[in-house]
Amino acid sequence: MADSTPKSYSTDPTLYLYTSLTAGSSHIITATARLETILKANKISFQALDVATDEKARMLWGRRAGKRKLPGLVRMGMVIGVIHSLCLWVYIDTDGYRTLRRSKNGTNTESSKTT
């Protein structure tokens, strides 16, 4: 059986939804469901990863997320956004979705979002 996990999340172009369903916090589960809804409603493909069970994902999140909290979106080893920034895009800024779509193609990150 072929191993479906990438050798390195840092070079994988897939959009990942990092979460921790075993953290014991209902906030993370609710926020994860909300992010899934946003992504599915905008037809953005992604793969969910539980950092509690995936050591490579946990190490990448620890290195790259800084003080940001789960859940979050990661692509090519970079944290694109977390629940708070993505929800603000939904309610305040329609450019946020364009930025998210561009980041899916590897051209932008959350920090380079146009205003």
Q: Which amino acid is at 65?
A: A
Place of tokens 């926020």: 31
Q: Which domain holds residue 40?
A: 16-106
Q: What's the domain count of the chain?
A: 1
Other beta carbons less than 10 A from residue 14's beta carbon: 14
**pTM, to two decimals:** 0.72
Q: Is residue 112 part of a domain?
A: no
**What CATH number is given to the structural domain containing 88?**
3.40.30.10
Does residue 89 lie within any of the structural domains? yes
Asked if residue 3 belongs to a domain, the reply is no
DSSP 54: -
Interstrand relation of 78-82 and 72-75 (parallel, antiparallel or unpaired): antiparallel
The most confident of 10-24, 25-39, 52-66, 82-96, by mean pLDDT: 52-66
- Note the pLDDT tens digit of each residue in 73-104: 999 999 988 987 777 666 554 555 555 555 55
pLDDT for 60: 94
Asked if residue 4 belongs to a domain, the reply is: no
How do residues 34-50 score in pLDDT, each as one tens digit?
Answer: 999 988 987 889 999 99
